[in-house]
Homo-oligomer: A and B are copies of this chain.
Amino acid sequence: MSTYSRKTKLKADCPMERALNVMTGKWKLALLCELNRRNARLVDFEKKNPEASKRTLAQQLGELVKDGIVQKKDFQVYPKKVEYSLTSLGKELIPVIQKMGEFGEKL
């Protein structure tokens, strides 16, 4: 059984595909659900998702940031402390994935 999750980059020339691209990634829904509950740090995600590699979590968070869904707050301390949270755009994504969840119940 495979755990390969992402399929392929969509054509991205239509809004639905752009939206789908933003959410598609093995840990992105998990990250978004957690961020919907509370702001969190990379370590927090590592603890919550021990199956995921730190590299992937950091990368997928980075993509969410780049897409404007998530924002970082760098506390500029040592040892480093960086907190992630949903942007206002990111908050608008929550009802969308909830609707997906309702549909997913039927699968």
Residues facing B in A1-44 (CB within 8 A) are: 2-12, 14-26, 29-30, 33
- Measured between beta carbons, the chain B residues less than 8 angstroms from A80 are none
Cβ distance A9 to chain B, nearest Cβ, rounded Å: 4
- Measured between beta carbons, the chain B residues less than 8 angstroms from A25 are 7-8
- Measured between beta carbons, the chain B residues less than 8 angstroms from A5 are 7-12, 17, 21
Total interface residues on A, CB under 8 Å, equals: 46
Is A106 interfacial (CB 8 A cutoff)?
yes
**Cα–Cα, bound, A25→B7 (Å):** 5
Which residue of B is nearest A95, CB measured? Answer: B99
- Measured between beta carbons, the chain B residues less than 8 angstroms from A10 are 5-6, 26, 29
